[in-house]
Chain A
Amino acid sequence: GDSVTQMEGPVTLSEEAFLTINCTYTATGYPSLFWYVQYPGEGLQLLLKATKADDKGSNKGFEATYRKETTSFHLEKGSVQVSDSAVYFCALSDESSGDKLTFGTGTRLAVRP
């Protein structure tokens, strides 16, 4: 079945540092890939998505590229801010699995001033 593996957290960075959160996936079909962010006490917000190989999703300075050859969708940001502190979830949606979202375990990011 489908699965998503993302790096364990927490990740602690200083403000303006470079961020990478690794995500790899296993899927039977051709999935769409997503990054969601969850701030404390809140639900999930879609951060970015990519629906086919080599697509790059981007939003609010975050980027991720759909790499079919390495089955990866790593999240990057060039300069993090304190306000980026949250939990980040990598997810996939696969038509062969009924389009439900399959999530990774989440990576907590803490950014120090």
Chain B
Amino acid sequence: KAGVTQTPRYLIKTRGQQVTLSCSPISGHRSVSWYQQTPGQGLQFLFEYFSETQRNKGNFPGRFSGRQFSNSRSEMNVSTLELGDSALYLCASSLWTGDTEAFFGQGTRLTVV
């Protein structure tokens, strides 16, 4: 079966712009989590959605937001982009919230110039 699909794979944006990233989980998976990966901070948890509800949120400013649709697909949005938002954004899907096995997509590489 198809894995976790993230689109687009690469993005270049200008400071101050906003961006929307998309994640399609594995079919049947209802939990989607987002992580930011940077060389300096490593992998940091952004938020988790389950059944269209945000279940958990990491320590990121309000410029970072997300949502989940009824088909479990998820989007994350970053507004007023800063240079420091340049990162690899990874999406992970699980069957349900609290499931110990998460499957990751290949990520979206965001570069802010």
Contact = CB atoms under 8 A, between A and B. Distances in A.
Interface of A: 32, 34, 36, 41-46, 49, 51, 89, 91, 93, 95, 98-106
A100 B103 contact: no
Contacts of A41: 106
A46 B102 contact: yes
Contacts of B33: 100-101
Given A99-B56, A100-B58, A46 B101 contact: yes
A16 B100 CA distance: 32
B84 interface: no
Interface string B14-41: 0000000000000000000101000000
Contact of B102 (A89, A95, A98, A101): A101
Contacts of B42: 103-106
Interface string B96-113: 011011111111000000
Given A44-B92, A46-B102, A93-B100, 13 more contacts: A36-B104, A43-B90, A43-B104, A43-B105, A44-B90, A45-B104, A51-B100, A91-B43, A100-B33, A100-B48, A101-B92, A101-B102, A105-B42
